[in-house]
Structure 1
């Protein structure tokens, strides 16, 4: 995989990375976590979207992540994060490029992502890297448990 320099290495994310990734995510302001971020669900996501999510390691420690998946029409990015002490090294754009390249290899030509409204740093990052904030689209969500759907 790609390297930023001799100390940073980008590789595909695997389920075994969960513990370190979760610690990283919990330490990042603006990254929202939920029940969907359990070890089992992340493992299932990685299996379903094999080869599309990446991590960055520094001296054996995981310091960056990006998760990507698709529905066969559009790609989606999740959990881009770089440890604060390692920001400004070009790691986040490299992770994004790895994920987008992987989606392109899958035949996906458009990608979406979600940014929490209060995550101003995230909004600045995505805007500065060529992503457009969409107007006119509202996100609706609904839990499916105990809704009498069975």
Structure 2
């Protein structure tokens, strides 16, 4: 397995990977090729893919607001799970975030995503029950949940 920086040219393969993973929450704007291009422009050194024999089998998108790091859309092809790929992606991303001065990382996981929640708990990510997550769409967004 090889981990490398994510490139916009990887988009179609990554989107296909996301769609193969139950529990992913995507939308038509942020997760479009144009939306991912914007994200990569802002975060060129913190998004990674895992490859096996030149096939993308894992992805992690991380970014920063300069103060906190955020993890988005971490996924591993179901056929390649339980091989340490996700942990390697997380470790690589955490190192990249530390390199740019980030000291704390947050993420959001759907409560129904038992596999995802178990994974993040195994890595020491804790649930914050003192917060209420809120958002507001500024334009019409279509959810695409797997």
TM-score by length of 1: 0.90
Relative contact order, CA 8 A, sep 6+: which one is greater?
A: 2
Select which of 82, 85, 89 maps to 1:91.
85
Matched, 1:71 2:65: yes
- 1:60 CA drift (Å): 1.2
- What stretches of structure 1 move > 4 A for 4+ residues in a row? none
- 1:122 CA drift (Å): 0.6
Any unmatched runs of 5+ in structure 1?
1-7
1:13 aligned residue: 6
Any unmatched runs of 5+ in structure 2?
141-146
Aligned residues: 139
Distance 2:119 2:27 in 1: 23
- From the two aligned structures, give the one with the greater strand fraction: 2
TM-score by length of 2: 0.93
1:82 aligned residue: 76
Deviation digits for residues 6-60 of structure 1 (CA, Å, limit 9, x no counterpart)? xx11000011110000000001011111121000010110111111000001111
Select which of 94, 102, 119 maps to 1:108.
102
